[in-house]
């Protein structure tokens, strides 16, 4: 009954505030204390008892009362830090004020006229107080007080000193580095776990996250984000004396978390885990604070310049200038191997948690913040190159690769999870730019993860190729912008793949078989780019890893007609017209309306629908830059370097295929449907095309070559694409077919002869023959290895900001902090 009376009194106070016609004086303590003196049991009650409609009405009709409410709530929090928040009553007042501000702040941010309120001088401030506080804006007072409270003995941390209730530690002079929440980076002591402290930290961090969320109410265009987020800038600046212990606390609490614990089955159903919500909000705070690097020079959206400094120099992170953002600065300076191991083990433990298999269904706790973990991993690799090199130094990188491939495969058909697909591919693209990543992929894949992919025996490279093939053949239309990245990753690792399985080899040839059909090549001005990528993959393996790849060589021989048809591709008007008309007669396009390229969106933000156009411009218009780095890493002696103009460009198409039939040399024309690819425009220099999009259909059958559909008109002008003989000739003459044709010229007669002489019908005997074969001295001079490296740019910075805030929006549903507010950064559609 008492609890009901408390809620009733709180609700009456809210009604009084919203219905008063005259401003309430700030010194009317009896009135204002109603909002925090009574113990409202939880934050959910605050959200229920203060409806959104009434907050907006208060903002519009009685703004002075709203301003005073915010001021008084901040004042109470500041006062609690001055008294060290020693009593239970003080702690309850703080928690109620924190909950109140968490409820109100989003409605402050959604009105542009109110956003500067917290950065103005305090209303009703006395001269003495102004002088004592240096006339700090309300926002700075709030941030400073909240950071103090995160290291408040007996409220958020366990006191290390024997100070009784009459002699509390002074929060203004406390050394917070002694109270870091968990052992790990920069701190060796592991404090005793206290569930109440975890809950208090979580509530304060959620308010900080709400403060930082002003970015959510700005449109997704670069101009709107030209100025840094003031809340984050202050929180991560030298003015925050707790910046270092906060950074290490957030990082350590995340990396040390083990949701399984001692492994007692169903323990998560019997006991409440106070640590998981804290880890989740800590991850989110880390991700958004590391995203705002104020001093870093980024490439513009066209990707024509690289980042400041020497990206490949690990010591570039420790320049004397550093970053204005202390969190970024601290992250860049982590260097001890034991710290790297602690962080990496923590991230991989949590990433692999949903993949765990047990004999007892549901017996292990599953965490759901893998998206935040992927963003944190990305940012660590981007900010601290020493960390990325450490990850690539051993096979531990595979503990990151496997869960990423699992999430990519799992999300490929779900349009609401397109953001997860992007972050996973971005990470693999970044890692693939380093030689060690390709080398590590040769480790045998033995730990079977539950995925709906063909059974195979092979290495992690096979798993990567098979999953990528699955994404391309059975994903959805909004994944089209990722296909150039998928192929770039395979090209980057191909020179180091020692032994591809028959399954993976078949998948690669299957893609080429589909992409090299004349009607597909003629359907778009950029479809031929993907053929160049695949040919480069085959050339790299033949030239540098021939000895161990008999399965791929065998598959190339079996599918040799594909290469012959590609070399003899007709270029005259009549042949082009015949190919296109044959496609039109045999396959009628599915009814897909002509639409502009679909924008990217946050995972789950849009259930299979378009986001607002600005999101696309902020993300794909500046797709991750890929720079051509010519590197010599030859297992054999390289010679002169042929021109690889076309290989430097990115593919812009989608293949929708089943699993090809290696026993059928000739592609079946009647199993190929239409493909068309729409292109918004070509970018310059090493920047990839703007937003490649095309339709996707699921794989047909094991014997199908490809199934594709035409989705929209092509070309930057929006008109129909009309291929010309001159255009076909310009790229056909550059097809890098010499190495493959020489291989076929040498090996096909040998294989035919041995089959006839020995009457071989078993492919295993042919494979054995190819394993002992050699092409030394018979192939063209090996070409230099081309590695395409990721280059940060303003477009990807905007994408990560949008994606991360979209994830935070969706993950924070209890309470629903931002639900039903006027978010501008992305569009929310409810089902």
Question: Which whole number is the average pLDDT over 721-734?
Answer: 90
In a domain, 420, yes or no: no
Quick one: which H or E segment has residue 791?
Answer: strand 785-791
Q: Which residue has the higher pLDDT, 626 or 461?
A: 461
How confident is residue 460, by pLDDT bands cut at 50, 70 and 90? very high
* pLDDT of res. 348: 96
Mean pLDDT of the chain: 77
In this prediction, what percent of the chain has a pLDDT beyond 90? 47
Q: How far apart are CA 822 and CA 818, in angstroms?
A: 9
Which residue is it, tokens 């495969």?
409
Task: Provide mean pLDDT across the span 373-402.
Answer: 95
Confidence of residue 667 (pLDDT cuts 50, 70, 90): very low
Pairing of strands 785-791, 625-631: antiparallel
Provide the token pair at 147: 């950071």
Q: Residue 92 is part of which domain span?
A: 1-114
Q: What is the pLDDT of residue 264?
A: 52
Helix (H, G, I), strand (E, B) or coil at 138: helix
Structural domain count, the chain: 1
471-521 pLDDT tens trace: 988 888 788 788 888 999 999 999 999 999 999 999 999 999 988 888 888
User: Is 537:490 a contact under the CB 8 Å cutoff?
Assistant: yes
Identify whether the C-beta of residue 696 lies closer than 8 Å to the C-beta of residue 656.
yes
Residue 351 DSSP SS3? helix
Dist. CA 769–CA 122, nearest whole Å = 84
Lowest mean pLDDT among 430-439, 538-547, 701-710, 807-816: 701-710
The answer to whether 101 and 817 have CB atoms below 8 angstroms apart is: no
Within-domain flag for 390: no
Q: What CA–CA distance (Å, rounded) separates 691 from 800?
A: 17
* pLDDT tens sequence across 69-126: 999 999 999 999 988 888 888 999 999 999 999 999 999 999 999 999 999 865 555 5
Mean pLDDT of 200-210: 97
The pLDDT score that the predictor gives to residue 616 is: 27
> Which DSSP letter does residue 266 get?
T
Would 16 be classed as within a structural domain? yes
Q: Is the pLDDT reported for residue 652 higher than 80?
A: no
Rounded Cα distance between 153 and 85, Å, is 9
pLDDT the model gives residue 207? 98
Please state whether 261 falls in left (phi above 0), alpha (psi between -120 and 50) or beta: left
Spell out the residues 6+ positions from residue 479 whose beta carbon is closer than 8 angstroms to its own: 412, 418, 421, 471, 654, 696
Q: Are 433 and 790 in contact (CB under 8 A)?
A: yes
Residue 621: pLDDT over 50: no
Q: Is the backbone peptide bond immediately before 815 cis, with ω within 30 degrees of 0?
A: yes
Say if residue 792's pLDDT is above 50.
yes
595 pLDDT more than 60: no
Rounded to an integer, the average pLDDT of 436-461 is 92
- The reported pLDDT for the residue numbered 292 is 58
How far apart (Å, rounded) are the C-alpha atoms in residues 624 and 426?
8
Residue 556 has a pLDDT of 95
Return the DSSP state at 371.
Answer: H
How far is the C-alpha of 299 from the C-alpha of 752, rounded, in Å?
54
pLDDT at 347 over 90: yes
Per-residue pLDDT band for 705 (boundaries 50, 70, 90) equals: very low
The CA radius of gyration of the chain, in Å to the nearest whole number, is: 30
**43 domain-assigned:** yes
- Of 153, 150, 120, 158, which is closest to residue 137 (Cα–Cα)? 120
Classify residue 663: in a domain, yes or no: no
Residue 268: pLDDT over 50: no
Please, which residues have CB within 8 angstroms of residue 95's CB and are 6 or more apart in sequence?
200, 203
pLDDT surpassing 50 at residue 767: yes
Q: What local confidence, expressed as pLDDT, does residue 444 receive?
A: 96
pLDDT at 279: 96
128: confidence class by pLDDT, cuts 50, 70, 90: low
Q: Is 762 exposed, middle or buried (0-12, 13-18, 19+ CB in 10 A)?
A: exposed
Choose the most confident range, by mean pLDDT, from 88-102, 166-180, 787-801: 88-102
First-to-last CA distance in the chain?
38
Token readout for 796 is 């990807």
Domain membership flag for residue 340: no
Helix 763-771 × helix 550-558 angle, to 10°: 120
Using the predicted structure, report yes or no on whether residue 636 has a pLDDT greater than 50. no
Asked if 548 and 594 count as a contact pair (C-beta separation under 8 A), the reply is no
pLDDT(373) > 90: yes
Residue 715 contacts residue 721 (beta carbons within 8 Å): yes
- The rounded distance, in Å, linking the Cα atoms of 509 and 439 is 22
Q: Which one-letter DSSP state was computed for residue 153? A: B
Task: Please check whether residue 692 is in contact with residue 509, taking contact to mean a CB–CB distance below 8 angstroms.
Answer: no
Are the beta carbons of 740 and 535 closer than 8 angstroms?
yes
Select from 353, 336, 362 the least CA-distant residue to 399: 353
CA-wise closest residue to 699 among 503, 473, 477, 513 = 473
Calpha distance 816→429 (Å, rounded): 34
- Backbone phi, psi, residue 790, to 5°: -70, 135
427 burial via Cβ count (<10 Å: 0-12, 13-18, 19+):
buried
Which of 193-207, 393-407, 753-767 comes out lowest in average pLDDT? 753-767
In angstroms, rounded to a whole number, what is the distance separating the alpha carbons of residues 734 and 642? 10
- Number of other residues whose CB lies within 10 A of the CB of residue 202: 20
Residue 4 lies in a domain: yes
CB atoms closer than 10 angstroms to residue 61: 12
Question: Which residues sit opposite 793 in a β-bridge?
Answer: 299
Instruction: Give residue 132's Cα distance to chain centre.
Output: 45
Whose CA is closest to 406, among 443, 446, 452? 452
CB-CB contact of 95 with 46 (8 Å): no
What pLDDT is stored for residue 135 in this prediction?
73
Taking a C-beta distance cutoff of 8 angstroms, is the pair 316, 310 a contact? yes
The whole-number average pLDDT for the span 4-9 is 77
- Mean pLDDT of the 35-60 span: 88
pLDDT-derived band of residue 776, with 50, 70 and 90 as boundaries?
Answer: confident
Give CA–CA dist 504/549, Å, rounded.
Answer: 11
Q: Domain for residue 28, yes or no?
A: yes
Is the per-residue pLDDT at 769 higher than 90? no
d(CA 366, CA 259): 7
SS3 annotation, 41-96: CCHHHHHHHCCHHHHHHHHHHCHHHHHHHHHHHHHHHHHHHHCCCCCHHHHHHHHH
Which of 326, 269, 270 has its CA nearest to residue 293?
326
Check whether 338 has a pLDDT greater than 90.
Answer: yes
The pLDDT tens digits for 210-264 are 999 999 999 998 888 888 899 999 999 999 999 999 999 999 999 999 987 545 5
In terms of Cα–Cα distance, which of 748, 775, 740, 741 is closest to 536? Answer: 740
What's the pLDDT band for 133 if we cut at 50, 70, 90? low
By percentage, how much of the chain surpasses pLDDT 70? Answer: 74
* Helix, strand, coil content of the chain in percent (nearest 5): 55, 5, 45
CA separation for the pair 411, 409 (Å, rounded)? 6
Name the band, by pLDDT with cuts 50, 70 and 90, for residue 307.
very low
pLDDT at 728 over 60: yes
Most confident of 124-128, 208-212, 702-706: 208-212
Q: Which helix (H) or strand (E) holds 475?
A: none
Residue 521's pLDDT is what? 87
């Amino acid at each position: 009954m008492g609890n009901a009376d408390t809620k009733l009194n709180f609700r009456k106070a809210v009604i009084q505030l919203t219905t008063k016609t005259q401003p309430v004086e700030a010194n009317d303590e009896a009135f204002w204390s109603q909002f925090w003196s009574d113990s409202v049991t939880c934050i959910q009650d605050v959200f229920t008892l203060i409806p959104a409609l009434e907050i907006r009405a208060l903002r519009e009709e009685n703004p002075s009362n709203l301003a005073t409410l915010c001021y008084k709530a901040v004042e109470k929090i500041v006062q609690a830090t001055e008294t060290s928040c020693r009593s239970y009553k003080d702690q309850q007042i703080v928690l109620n004020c924190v909950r109140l501000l968490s409820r109100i702040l989003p409605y402050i941010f959604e009105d542009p006229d109110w956003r500067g309120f917290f950065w103005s001088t305090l209303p009703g401030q006395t001269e003495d107080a102004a002088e004592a506080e240096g006339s700090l804006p309300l926002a700075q007072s709030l941030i400073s007080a909240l950071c103090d409270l995160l290291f408040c003995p007996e409220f958020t941390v366990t006191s290390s000193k024997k100070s009784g209730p009459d002699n509390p530690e002074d929060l203004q002079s406390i050394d917070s580095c002694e109270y870091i929440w968990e052992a790990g980076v920069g701190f060796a002591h592991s404090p005793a776990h206290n569930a109440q402290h975890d809950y208090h930290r979580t509530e304060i961090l959620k308010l900080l996250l709400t403060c930082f969320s002003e970015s959510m109410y700005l449109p997704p265009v670069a101009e709107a984000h030209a100025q840094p987020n003031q809340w984050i800038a202050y929180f991560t600046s030298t003015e925050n004396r707790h910046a270092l212990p906060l950074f290490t606390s957030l990082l350590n609490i995340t990396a040390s978390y083990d949701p399984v614990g001692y492994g007692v089955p169903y323990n998560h159903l019997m006991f409440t885990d106070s640590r998981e919500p804290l880890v989740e909000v800590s991850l989110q705070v880390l991700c958004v604070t590391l995203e705002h690097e104020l001093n870093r020079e980024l490439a513009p959206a066209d990707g024509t310049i690289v980042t400041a400094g020497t990206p490949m120099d690990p010591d570039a992170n420790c320049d004397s200038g550093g970053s204005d953002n202390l969190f970024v600065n601290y992250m860049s300076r982590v260097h001890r191997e034991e710290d790297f191991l602690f962080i990496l083990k923590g991230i991989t433990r949590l990433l692999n948690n949903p993949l765990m298999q047990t004999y007892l269904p549901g017996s292990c706790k599953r965490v759901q913040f893998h998206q935040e973990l992927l963003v944190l991993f990305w940012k660590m690799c981007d900010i601290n190159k020493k960390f990325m090199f450490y990850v690539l130094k051993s096979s531990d990188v595979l503990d990151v690769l496997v869960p990423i491939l699992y999430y990519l495969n799992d999300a490929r058909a779900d349009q609401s999870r397109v953001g997860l697909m992007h972050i996973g591919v971005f990470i693999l693209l970044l890692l693939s730019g380093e030689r060690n990543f390709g080398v590590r992929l040769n480790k045998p894949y033995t730990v079977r993860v539950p995925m709906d992919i063909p059974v195979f025996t092979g290495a992690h490279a096979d798993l990567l190729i098979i999953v990528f093939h699955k994404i391309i053949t059975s994903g959805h239309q909004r994944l089209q912008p990722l296909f150039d990245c998928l192929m770039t990753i395979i090209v980057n690792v191909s020179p180091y793949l020692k032994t591809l399985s028959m399954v993976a080899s078949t998948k690669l040839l299957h893609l080429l078989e589909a992409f090299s059909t004349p009607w597909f090549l003629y359907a778009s001005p950029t479809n031929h780019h993907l053929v160049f990528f695949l040919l480069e993959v085959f050339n790299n393996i033949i030239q540098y890893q021939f000895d161990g790849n008999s399965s791929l060589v065998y598959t190339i021989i079996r599918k040799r007609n594909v290469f012959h048809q590609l070399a003899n591709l007709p270029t005259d008007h009549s042949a082009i017209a015949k190919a296109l008309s044959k496609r039109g007669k045999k396959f009628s396009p599915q009814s897909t309306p002509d639409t502009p390229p679909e924008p990217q969106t946050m995972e789950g933000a849009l259930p299979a629908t378009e986001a607002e156009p600005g999101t696309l411009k902020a993300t794909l218009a500046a797709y991750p830059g890929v720079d051509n780095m010519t590197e010599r890493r030859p297992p054999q002696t390289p010679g002169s370097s042929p021109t690889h103009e076309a290989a430097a460009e990115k593919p812009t198409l989608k293949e929708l295929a089943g699993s090809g039939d290696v026993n059928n040399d000739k592609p079946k024309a009647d199993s190929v449907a239409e493909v068309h690819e729409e292109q918004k425009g070509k970018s310059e220099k090493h920047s990839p095309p703007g937003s490649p999009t095309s339709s996707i259909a699921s794989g047909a059958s094991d014997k199908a070559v490809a199934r594709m559909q035409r989705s929209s008109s092509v070309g930057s002008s929006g008109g129909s694409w009309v291929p010309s003989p001159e255009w076909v000739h310009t790229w056909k003459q550059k097809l890098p077919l010499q190495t493959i044709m020489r291989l076929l010229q040498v090996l096909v007669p040998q294989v035919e002869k041995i089959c006839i002489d020995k009457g071989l019908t078993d492919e295993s005997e042919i494979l054995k023959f190819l394993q002992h074969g050699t092409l030394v001295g018979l192939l063209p001079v090996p070409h230099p290895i081309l590695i395409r490296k990721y280059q940060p740019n303003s477009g990807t910075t905007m994408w990560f900001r949008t994606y991360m805030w979209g994830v935070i929006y969706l993950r924070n549903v209890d309470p629903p902090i931002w639900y039903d507010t006027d978010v501008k950064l992305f569009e929310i559609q409810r089902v």
